[in-house]
Amino acid sequence: MRILFLCNKSPWPPKEGGPMAMNMLIEGLVDAGHQVKVLAVNSFKYNISADDIPLSYAEKTGIELIDVDLRIKPVDAFLNLFTGESYHVRRFISEKFRTRLIEILRAGKFDIVQLETLFMGPYIGTIRANSPAKIILRAHNIEHLIWERIAEETKNPARKWYLNHLAVTLRNYEQKTAMEVDGILAITPKDAGYFTTLTTHQNRKSAIVNRKSDISPIPVTALPFGLDPAKYRVDPVDLEFPSLFSLGSMNWIPNQEGIRWFLEQVWPDIHNQFPKLNYYIAGREMPGWMRALALPNVVVLGEVEDARAFLASKAIMIVPLFSGSGIRVKIIEGMACGKTIISTSIGAEGISCTHRENILIADAPCEFFEMISICITNPALCNKIGKQARALVETAYNPTILIQKLLTFYQELTG
């Protein structure tokens, strides 16, 4: 099969969740003998030089990067309030990207055009006009839900109003786009359930309006992130136990807000109880307030050169998320390293995990304190949970199985 991927950021290098999730499918399809072409947005948030992409990767993916200015412009953001359009999505509309997409579609025949994230939705009309390919939306998240949850956690009335506005316009666009594609790949079963309910309801409304007895439902399936556990170290000789750590892209608002909450609500009591315990914070695009932290035993590292080596060297992974959607790739990576993960119910959403078996769930400060204390005072239990987390990744997130499931979905759509 021939598959064109339209990506909201470059899948190479796979340094954060989105690119890792995209790259897993891209390389998996290539390895399975299929032809892949990648057209990706290149922006200030995840800026890649084409010269830095390995030649072997460029040759097998045909990757092209198109510079798109995604910076938030206050005047445009203000004027957008009166349009009813999603400002999140509007920023991804680029005439340069559209022109190159048309050239690619006219130069070769594709069986599938896969939109990686909702933000590639503005190009559906262009694809329809220039190709008979089936269009698939790969929904990395339920995008509007992220902003609804951020708004819920926001105290400032003006900011809350604006965030709710962003959530509503994004929800409207998400619902509209779901009805315009030929199939949807959700990244979790819960997200798949949302899209199935949404599209079924919309189909019923359409059937009533058009006086039809039946309108075919849009196929939806869950396809999670997968990784090769063999690439992740377990039981390293240089493990620092006990130690806490958080790892992620720090320009993502849910990560920032979660860590701020943990530092304010949990860390003081933890430090008092375990004064020699270190908490390491690592990730790309550290905001100024994180870099300026001067809290005892809190070590702010910024972007680490080797994320896998960093994962392997620390003991207990802290993921204090109270907003967001989809699946947390870093949790899957931590599990692959045999780490004990302590996360919120929202942070663990979409992962086939079980509290006290292969993960620890905490939603309140006292619960985080309890779970951390258990890990530190009971190393054997901590080790057991980590090993069971690794076993979960080996069985539930095997990329070979996921690629076969993806191909079956493609084949059902194309006939």
List, for the chain, all residue ranges whose pLDDT scores fall below the cut of 50: 207
Residue 208 one-letter amino acid: I
Q: What secondary structure letter does DSSP report for 219?
A: P
Handedness of CA 184, 118, 320, 238 (dihedral sign): positive
Q: Give backbone dihedrals phi and psi of 111, rounded to 5 degrees, phi first.
A: -85, -35
CA-nearest of 228, 208, 415 to 333 is 228
The structural domains of the chain, ordered by start, are 2-226+398-414 (3.40.50.2000), 229-396 (3.40.50.2000)
Question: Alpha-carbon distance 45 to 47, whole Å?
Answer: 6
Q: Of all residues in the chain, what percent carry a pLDDT higher than 70? A: 97
Buried b (16+ CB within 10 A) or exposed e, 207-242: eeeeeeeeeeebbbbbbbbbbebeebbeeeeeeeeb
Report pLDDT for 205.
65
Q: What is the pLDDT of residues 333-383, one digit of tens each?
A: 999 999 999 999 999 998 999 999 999 999 999 999 999 999 999 999 999
pLDDT at 204 (0 to 100): 63
Residue 378 is predicted with a pLDDT of 95
| 409 closest CA partner among 136, 108, 74 | 136
